[in-house]
Amino acid sequence: MGTIRIGIAGGAGYTGGELLRILINHPQTEVCWVNSNSNAGKPISDVHADLFGDTNLKFTDSISQDIDVLFLCVGHGDAKKFLDNHEIAASIKIIDLSQDFRLNLNAKHGSRSFIYGLPELNRESIKQAHNIANPGCFATGIQIGLLPLAAAGLLNSEVHINATTGSTGAGQSLSPTSHFSWRNNNLSVYKAFEHQHLNEIGQSLTQLQNNFDQAMNFIPQRGDFTRGILAAMYTECALTLDEAYDLYENYFKDHPFTHVSKRNIDLKQVVNTNKALIHLEKHGNKLFIISIIDNLLKGASGHAVQNMNLMFGIGETVGLRLKASAF
């Protein structure tokens, strides 16, 4: 595969910035244009100061068709609008980071059909796909913790989930709950039992275990840190701890970013990387599962590049061997 030519729509936000950070250092990509109507003409480093000295690209309010893949880093609901308002050549592949095409009932736009882009679930389909719906950040972390059980037909009781995300999960637009003075030294619950990512999680679990009909009791929380997601889950399970570890290790053995740890895990192990880590414990008849990801990388932009690598037939980890901040 030669150089992959990239276009990015919505490049001024957090996911756009992280995507640029990866792609301008990726050995097989060229970023051809970055669309942002509100920042057209500005150097990218004026908005993403961490890229100062790394690129001379400027934002543009136009698009060109001379690309191989288009990344949509626009807001939820805006991906459909972007495709409605811009004619994109049929030869151009699309990776959408919004939620617009994640559910099967919404996975079409005109002649385009979108594949749900979770490699730990759909890797072979992703390799053949022309259009990808990139998973949500909470959805990625939670699914990675539950997929092995569903694949073995072992999700037969309610699942209880408590997950906390960093402030970047809310995007760059200011809101009452994203200001530093509110978020700092604070913790809050939102969308308890009703978070929109439950739909795509349930869809994936049913794909592996078609009789899955148990309640998923999901309590999302806003953390007072910048990035990362820690999901703590438990469900009744007859497996011993050793059997559970065998199940998880076998399920993920061919997935280069997902690792199962017998030691307890913490967010700094994955922040700034495309890794997902899992830790298991057994408490009575309950299996306790901890999963951690960086919400902007494995939960968004890194995941999107992983999907791009698979779609274009290059090494899955190319451009994504990133070191955790760790301390």
For the four alpha carbons of 4, 34, 50 and 185, in that order, the dihedral sign comes to negative
**Can you tell me the mean pLDDT for 98-127?**
95
Predicted pLDDT at 203 = 95
Measured in degrees and rounded to the nearest 5, phi and psi for residue 50 equal -70, -15
- Using alpha carbons only, give the angle 81, 92, 77 rounded to the nearest 5 degrees: 20
| Whether residue 19 has pLDDT greater than 60 | yes
Q: What is the DSSP letter of 196?
A: T
**pLDDT band, residue 184 (cuts 50/70/90):** confident
Which of helix, strand or coil describes residue 8?
A: strand
Predicted pLDDT at 152 = 98
Share of the chain above pLDDT 90, in %: 84
Can you tell me which residue has the tokens 């092995």?
Answer: 148
pLDDT tens digit sequence for 34-78? 999 889 999 999 999 999 999 999 999 999 999 999 999 998 889
pLDDT tens digit sequence for 123-159? 999 999 999 999 999 999 999 999 999 999 999 999 9
Q: Catalytic site residues? A: 137
pLDDT tens digit sequence for 214-230? 999 999 999 998 899 99
CB 4 within 8 A of CB 308: yes
Predicted pLDDT at 197 = 86
Predicted pLDDT at 178 = 67
**pLDDT band, residue 196 (cuts 50/70/90):** confident
Predicted pLDDT at 209 = 98
| Whether residue 175 has pLDDT greater than 70 | no
| Whether residue 174 has pLDDT greater than 60 | no
Predicted pLDDT at 326 = 83
DSSP string, 23-46: HTT-TTEEEEEEE-GGGTTSBHHH
- More confident site: 77 or 174: 77
Residues 6 or more apart in contact with residue 51 via CB below 8 angstroms? 17, 20, 21, 24, 44, 45
Q: Give the whole-angstrom CA distance, residue 210 versus residue 224.
A: 38
| Whether residue 173 has pLDDT greater than 70 | no
CB 107 within 8 A of CB 101: yes
Residue 313 — left, alpha, or beta (φ > 0 → left; ψ -120 to 50 → alpha)? Answer: left
Q: Give the whole-angstrom CA distance, residue 311 versus residue 93.
A: 9
Measured in degrees and rounded to the nearest 5, phi and psi for residue 231 equal -110, 125
Share of the chain above pLDDT 70, in %: 95
Predicted pLDDT at 168 = 73
